[in-house]
Amino acid sequence: MKKGIHPEFQDTVFRCACGAEIATRSSKPEYKLEICSACHPFFTGKQKLVDSAGRVERFMRKYGDKPIATGKKPAKTARKKAETAAKPVRVTKAKPKEKAKEKTKEKAAPAKK
């Protein structure tokens, strides 16, 4: 390695907003973090809202008591059940077996010219 062109490797402290400090080595003497493994919900298993400039309160004021819109229309299950129960059942006539056999024979043997 060439001398004088590489940054100096020194002891470093990573400080999180929650107060946790992690000591390691790096080229900068100090790092400030917003979130670390001690306070991140993925590692802790707890849901914690990180509020930046009152965004969570603003969201809760605006949408807090409203039902969630999914973009779909509500189901009409009770009405459909009543309509299907009121409709008469349509019965189709069965074809005689002889006519069905003739049609299958015609399909199997194409007409000759």
CATH topology of domain 7-44: Rhinovirus 14, subunit 4 (4.10.80)
Digit-coded pLDDT (tens) for 79-96:
666 666 666 666 666 656
Mean pLDDT of 103-112: 62
Q: Residue 13: what pLDDT?
A: 94
For 72, the token pair is 């779909």
Rounded to the nearest angstrom, the gap between the alpha carbon of residue 111 and the centroid of all alpha carbons in its chain is 59
- Give the strand order in the sheet containing 30-33: 21-26, 10-16, 30-33
Question: Would you list the domain boundaries of the chain?
Answer: 7-44
Digit-coded pLDDT (tens) for 7-65:
888 999 999 888 889 899 999 999 998 888 888 777 777 766 666 667 777 888 888 77
Q: How far apart are CA 43 and CA 37, in angstroms?
A: 6
Q: Residue 17: what pLDDT?
A: 85
Q: Residue 18: what pLDDT?
A: 85
Q: Residue 14: what pLDDT?
A: 92
Q: Residue 71: what pLDDT?
A: 72
